[in-house]
Amino acid sequence: MDPQIPAKHQNDHNLPDILPGTASTAIPPPEHVTLDFATHAGSHLELHVPRFLYDALCARLGNAYKAGCWVAARCGEVDTLSRQSVERYVNMMTCDKLGLERESSRALRITVSSVTAPECRAKDGPC
Task: Name the domain count of the chain.
Answer: 1
Structural domain includes residue 57: yes
- pLDDT number for residue 19: 55
Whole-number pLDDT of residue 122: 46
Question: Residue 125: what pLDDT?
Answer: 45
CATH code, 69 = 3.30.479
Please give the helix or strand (H or E) that residue 86 lies within, else none. helix 83-98
Mean pLDDT of 9-27: 54
Pick the residue with more confidence: 67 or 124?
67
Please state, as a whole number, how many other Cβ atoms lie within 10 Å of the Cβ of residue 22.
10
pLDDT digit string, tens, across residues 63-105:
999 999 999 999 999 988 888 999 999 999 999 999 988 776 5
pTM: 0.66
Indicate whether 18 belongs to any domain. Answer: no
94 in a domain, yes or no? yes
Q: Residue 23: pLDDT band by 50, 70, 90 thresholds?
A: low
Range of the domain at 85: 30-116
**pLDDT higher at 60 or 16:** 60
In terms of Cα–Cα distance, which of 81, 54, 91 is closest to 69?
54
- Residue 44 pLDDT grade (very low, low, confident, very high; cuts 50, 70, 90): confident
How would you class 26 by CB atoms within 10 Å of its CB: exposed for 0-12, middle for 13-18, buried for 19 or more?
Answer: exposed
Helix or strand or coil: residue 42? coil
Question: Is position 87 within any domain?
Answer: yes
